[in-house]
Amino acid sequence: MSTNTKIAPSILSADFANLGPEITAIDKAGADYIHIDVMDGNFVPNITIGPNVVKATRKYSDKIFDVHLMINNPDQYVQEFADAGADIITIHAEATTHLDRSVELIKQTGKKVGVSIVPSTSDDVLDYVLDKLDLILVMTVNPGFGGQKFLHSQLKKIESLRNKIEQSGRNIDLEVDGGINPETAKLAISAGANVLVAGSAVFKGNASDYQKNIDALR
């Protein structure tokens, strides 16, 4: 497994009653990114947090806040999340009619741009915005809930995107999210991923276990 793999613990699996200290704990445990899942109960069947929570927790870590917007019509919220302290703003290709316009909107905030695709979406949808992206997020589960099983059907998609990134000559993170544990992490990395989002695999046990959990993924 690559030593250059970045680990992005998803705070969706953290103790929400103790969220600030949980973020500090994964920071100290070696997290590279702090992955923040924003769900609207519309694009996905769950509701999580908004920009105020991002703003309130920003002081607990200097690590990259990797904000994943699983929401419809993301354009209207991009500036709010940028102002709240996001470093990367990732939107779904399926959630916006004009993907190129949405990508440009994020770029105008000065933040890094990510685009995510769900398991049923072809990676071809990214061909005409690839030159503007800093991160691509492949969902290896159907988004909306934590604790789901990894969909092995997505490995070919990861491989395809890694090839496209290499051909582009651009430094684009290839991130995977869903069902990541020490076993599936190996598969994702072998397919070409360099950023792993993990929730329950990182936050299992207590704060003293987080470094061990992160090391097991890396």
1 inside domain: no
pLDDT reading at 208 higher than 50: yes
42 inside domain: yes
Q: Running DSSP on this structure, what letter comes out for residue 64?
A: E
pLDDT tens digit string along 54-78?
999 999 999 999 999 999 999 999 9
pTM of the model: 0.96
Q: Which of the residues 32, 134, 177, 209 is marked catalytic?
A: 177
Closest CA to 53 of 41, 62, 65: 65
Distances (CA, A) of 158 to 58, 118, 192, 194: 31, 12, 6, 10
pLDDT tens digit string along 139-149?
999 988 777 89
CATH code of the domain in which 152 resides: 3.20.20.70
As a whole number, the mean pLDDT across the chain is 96
Q: Which amino acid is at 88?
A: I
Closest CA to 43 of 107, 99, 93: 93
Q: Which of the residues 32, 37, 123, 134 is marked catalytic?
A: 37
121 inside domain: yes
Helix (H), strand (E) at residue 173: strand 173-177
208 inside domain: yes
- Enclosing domain of residue 186: 6-217
CB 199 within 8 A of CB 12: yes
81 inside domain: yes
Q: Which amino acid is at 114?
A: G
82 inside domain: yes
CB 55 within 8 A of CB 86: no
Is position 40 annotated as part of the catalytic site?
A: no
| For residues 193-205, average pLDDT | 97
pLDDT reading at 2 higher than 50: no
**How many structural domains are present in the chain?**
1
Is position 173 annotated as part of the catalytic site?
A: no
SS3 36: strand
pLDDT reading at 35 higher than 80: yes
pLDDT reading at 3 higher than 60: no
Closest CA to 162 of 190, 195, 186, 193: 193
CB 97 within 8 A of CB 74: no
